[in-house]
Structure 1
Amino acid sequence: MSLCGSVSALYLNLQSSKISMGSVLAFRSGESMGNTLRIPFKKRSSKGAACPLQVVCIDYPRPELENTVNFLEAASLSASFRSASRPAKPLKVIIAGAGLAGLSTAKYLADAGHKPILLEARDVLGGKVAAWKDDDGDWYETGLHIFFGAYPNVQNLFGELGINDRLQWKEHSMIFAMPNKPGEFSRFDFPEVLPAPLNGIWAILKNNEMLTWPEKVKFAIGLLPAMLGGQPYVEAQDGLSVKDWMRKQGVPDRVTEEVFIAMSKALNFINPDELSMQCILIALNRFLQEKHGSKMAFLDGNPPERLCMPIVNHIDSLGGEVRLNSRIKKIELNEDGTVKSFLLNNGNTIEGDAYVVATPVDIFKLLLPEDWREISYFKKLEKLVGVPVINVHIWFDRKLKNTYDHLLFSRSPLLSVYADMSVT
């Protein structure tokens, strides 16, 4: 079996290897049953005798996401590209970077009747969700990727591509490791019978391992301004770190230590004293406002094949192009400072009517033309720094006893999240 997870500077990802014994792990059933797969196999006891073991893996039905305000807005915007009047002269748009940002940009430009040409420096699609196959046929992924119900744009994209069935939905829970009790976990279980935000409140109140009742009450009171103030309040907190905001709201430091180190690491791979509270509140608001917002799904295979290729096929079908091994060396400018062309490493230049850079900020900084560096808009890039993340896959020769068919929050200062990819 294999494990996969994430860390700032170390992303421990546990991905499944093709081992015949123990390829599916027992999973605690939840309040609502999903689709079950029971695979019997034999486990050798300490005395050498074979004893039967029944293993259960459960995937849950796709939740009803289409009736949320955010999903309806995303679907409406997406549909507007397809229904827009066809341009008299389609634009040739050159896009740098075939991660999900570049791929979706090309997809929607093609939907609108334009001709996107997507350039990817490497020989693999996906950017942050790229993956590689080793000599044994196993996949190494760039990170441990999950899809929340609160991701309206990507959920809508899955539907448009007709690949909703490729998401494997898990029990509506958040599961945290107990650092002082190795092998034990603390769960926040969201009941299906309650609407948001009551399901989230219930999940917090029912958990007694991580927070005391006084801490829960102070935490709830601290969150009230965010719940009542909505998006304007959330955006106004951008200047405060998670740690500073918690103290300002009178939330005990132990809440930050017990819950928000894990959340900060999972969202941005940095600590609560470095992360803007706006990032946390955006996620929390979605989780509190949408019944299935915090529900998670795993992709049923490697992202380049299972997610990226359907987007590429869609782009190709509408006359666009996706080119791998097309690294940009320089952004060439006209005399007026506008983009003239992209110069590639192979010496070729490619021109278009419009240009999009959909690369990580550190790569864009390297490409930024000298004439643009003093422009106030681009000077803001100086404050943006990428966070180094290492993804680690560990293969084991047997099943781990204490794990779940779910994403696990490590609550470690180093490790972010991890999962047993032989079962998810």
Structure 2
Amino acid sequence: MTPGPRPRDRRAENIPAPQGRPRPLRPKRVTVIGGGIAGLSAATILAEHGVKVTVIEAEDHLGGRVGAWPVEADRTMSRGFHAFFRQYYNLRDLLSRADPELHRLEPVDDYPLTHRRGLTDTFASIPRTPPFNLLGFVWRSPTFPLHRLLDVDIPAAVELIDVEFPATYRQYDGESAADFLDRLRFPEEARHLALEVFARSFFADPADFSAGELIAMFHTYFAGSAEGLLFDVPVDDYDTALWAPLADYLTELGVQIRTGEMVTSLEATSSGWMVSTGDHEVHGDAVVLAADPARARELLRASHDSIVPTAVTAQEWLENIDSLTNAPAFAVLRLWLGAPVADHRSAFLGTSGYDVLDNVSVLERFEDGASRWAQSHHGSVLELHAYALDIDADPSEQDRASIVARLLSDLHQVYPETAHLPIVDQELLITADCPLTDTRPWDERPEAVTPVPGLVVAGDYVRCNLPVALMERAATTGYMAANHLLSSWRVEGTPLWSPPTRGLLRRGVLGRLGRGVLGRLGRGVLGQAR
């Protein structure tokens, strides 16, 4: 397989693949449970190395939490906007299988982050390479007035760039993002726009979200990578642009993709594994469990008696998996408007300080299908997100109506012209199937490799020692799960890429110099502020 696009960042780290023969000596069959990013990543690597793969997905479409589906002949719905950052090396490598030059991703010129009080940060003109990106952001940002830097706790601020993974993850065991931000003492607007947005992108309240994950994301997107702060978006809905082409690629490799089938149980047998879907049984040598975390826990509970006898440590591992929790519910409201929003509206806007609104996308700015609808109806297609809602995952009609009303109220404040635009149609999705990356000890989180022979797990809830998260963690752990199975059969795997695992203050002579310069700079800035 030809490698995908190489990282721009010269400090990006390559993790070599396990070595071995090109293909198994004897036929191997693997069942992948889940057709999201993690499952498709694992299926791709396994199939490319000669393994017979069956992918079973409960939904009628692929992509998991990055899926899209039709709601009318000319309209689609999704689970919400996703930013494809240039640091997502392994995800982009996966997508390059069906799109070698990644032409189905296009750059977003900017993504403003605005606070209800009126302050807005942008990223378009900020340098890409650290530390100049960090200095450029602070210099240009209205949320960092010089006199307010007096309040910042300098030692805590240094923690944002004095990182080394995976040790940094462990350093913050038991500490929440909210607790760390309290220690940091950034100005309130800066806290919301520059840092808290990372916690909410995990669908989590900062009080429940891991400080180590927050710092890792600050490093990955901001202070530790030379890929820049901007991102790409698909040129059409996720299925059309990404997953249908990848499904064609996998089918050509012999992968059997079965959508609309719910796995009811998995069982370890004397000859391997049996996966049941009610009416069908799929037999194989191994299983990649890449379902969403709640569904994975349900399947493992149902399979407890079959799994425990296979390994001495399986019971403890199962209990650890079962203790994981999901993040609160989130909402996606898609609106088809009968008149267009103002021409100057950004393709994507992050928001903070509003009742429930976390971001707004103007989909016709980048999705071909939405653009065609907007042109034919002289309107706009908007998507609104609300994270970490205090409602049930299966809300009443009254609760659903309340969420719509609150989102629309926030939207009318952010984009005032929308208060007068007719709504042709709307779709609301509320669900709670995302993992909660909480403050539990790092080493208690599950890895891709399990103590159960022939069973591996993959997903964005799976522990990965690299500074990656969200879609990239799903792709990376999918690669890791596949590599482990291939290595167990003495078959070569696929290399991984990672953003730098060390921060600016951990890089040899530069780090030692940086500590001194940072200290003098901090004292100088504070002196000027006084």
- Place the TM-score, normalised by the shorter chain, in its bin: 0.7 to 0.9
C-alpha distance 356-69 of structure 1, shift in aligned 2 (>3 A)? farther
2:262: which partner in 1?
327
* Contact 2:177–2:206 under 8 Å retained in 1: yes
**Per-residue CA distance 1:243-280 (angstroms, 9 max, x = gap):** 111233454556434543433212x1122111111222
Alpha-carbon distance, 1:131 to partner: 1.1
2:130: which partner in 1?
196
Q: For 2:104 and 2:188, locate their aligned partners in 1 and report how far apart those are by CA, in whole Å.
A: 40
Q: For 1:174 and 1:220, locate their aligned partners in 2 and report how far apart those are by CA, in whole Å.
A: 28
Matched, 1:354 2:280: no
* Contact 1:265–1:271 under 8 Å retained in 2: yes
**Per-residue CA distance 1:181-221 (angstroms, 9 max, x = gap):** 4xxx612335365622212321222111x233244462765
2:318: which partner in 1?
378
* Contact 2:144–2:187 under 8 Å retained in 1: no
Flag structure 2 segments of 5+ consecutive residues without an equivalent. Answer: 309-313, 367-530
After TM superposition, the structure 1 = structure 2 runs for residues 3-402 of structure 1, keeping only pairs within 5 Å, are 66-68=7-9, 73=14, 77=17, 84-161=21-98, 162-171=100-109, 173-181=110-118, 186-189=120-123, 191=125, 195-208=129-142, 210-216=143-149, 218=152, 222-231=156-165, 232-251=167-186, 255-266=190-201, 268-286=202-220, 287-334=222-269, 340-345=273-278, 347-368=279-300, 369-371=303-305, 375-387=315-327, 388-401=329-342
- Identity score, percent: 18
Q: Once structures 1 and 2 are overlaid, which stretch shifts more, 404-413 or 219-228?
A: 219-228
C-alpha distance 194-111 of structure 1, shift in aligned 2 (>3 A)? closer
Q: For 1:420 and 1:219, locate their aligned partners in 2 and report how far apart those are by CA, in whole Å.
A: 38
* Contact 2:52–2:255 under 8 Å retained in 1: yes
1:416: which partner in 2?
358
1:10: which partner in 2?
none
**TM-score, length-scaled by structure 1:** 0.74
User: When you count strand as a share of all residues, which structure comes out higher?
Assistant: 1
Flag structure 1 segments of 5+ consecutive residues without an equivalent. Answer: 1-63
When the two chains are superposed, the root-mean-square deviation of aligned CA atoms in Å is 2.8
C-alpha distance 299-258 of structure 1, shift in aligned 2 (>3 A)? closer
C-alpha distance 353-120 of structure 1, shift in aligned 2 (>3 A)? same
Q: For 1:386 and 1:157, locate their aligned partners in 2 and report how far apart those are by CA, in whole Å.
A: 26
State the aligned residue count: 348
- In structure 2, the residue corresponding to 1:307 is in which secondary structure? helix
Greater relative CO, 1 or 2 (CA 8 Å, sep 6+): 1
* Contact 2:273–2:287 under 8 Å retained in 1: no
C-alpha distance 276-194 of structure 1, shift in aligned 2 (>3 A)? closer
Alpha-carbon distance, 1:399 to partner: 2.0
What is the one-letter code of the residue matched to 1:153? N
C-alpha distance 290-229 of structure 1, shift in aligned 2 (>3 A)? closer
Q: For 1:194 and 1:167, locate their aligned partners in 2 and report how far apart those are by CA, in whole Å.
A: 19
What is the one-letter code of the residue matched to 1:385? T
* Contact 1:197–1:291 under 8 Å retained in 2: no
Alpha-carbon distance, 1:174 to partner: 4.3
- In structure 1, the residue corresponding to 2:284 is in which secondary structure? coil
* Contact 1:93–1:355 under 8 Å retained in 2: yes
Alpha-carbon distance, 1:383 to partner: 3.1
C-alpha distance 135-174 of structure 1, shift in aligned 2 (>3 A)? closer
C-alpha distance 402-65 of structure 1, shift in aligned 2 (>3 A)? farther
Q: For 2:304 and 2:73, locate their aligned partners in 1 and report how far apart those are by CA, in whole Å.
A: 45
* Contact 1:95–1:358 under 8 Å retained in 2: yes
Alpha-carbon distance, 1:70 to partner: 7.1
What is the one-letter code of the residue matched to 2:9? T
- In structure 2, the residue corresponding to 1:399 is in which secondary structure? coil
- In structure 1, the residue corresponding to 2:72 is in which secondary structure? coil
What is the one-letter code of the residue matched to 1:405? S
* Contact 1:65–1:71 under 8 Å retained in 2: no
Q: For 2:263 and 2:160, locate their aligned partners in 1 and report how far apart those are by CA, in whole Å.
A: 43
Q: For 1:87 and 1:233, locate their aligned partners in 2 and report how far apart those are by CA, in whole Å.
A: 38
Alpha-carbon distance, 1:89 to partner: 1.3
- In structure 1, the residue corresponding to 2:162 is in which secondary structure? helix
What is the one-letter code of the residue matched to 1:188? T
* Contact 1:133–1:139 under 8 Å retained in 2: yes
**TM-score, length-scaled by structure 2:** 0.60
- In structure 2, the residue corresponding to 1:262 is in which secondary structure? helix
User: When you count helix as a share of all residues, which structure comes out higher?
Assistant: 2
Q: For 1:130 and 1:207, locate their aligned partners in 2 and report how far apart those are by CA, in whole Å.
A: 35
What is the one-letter code of the residue matched to 2:282? I
Q: For 1:378 and 1:403, locate their aligned partners in 2 and report how far apart those are by CA, in whole Å.
A: 52
C-alpha distance 107-357 of structure 1, shift in aligned 2 (>3 A)? same
* Contact 2:176–2:208 under 8 Å retained in 1: yes
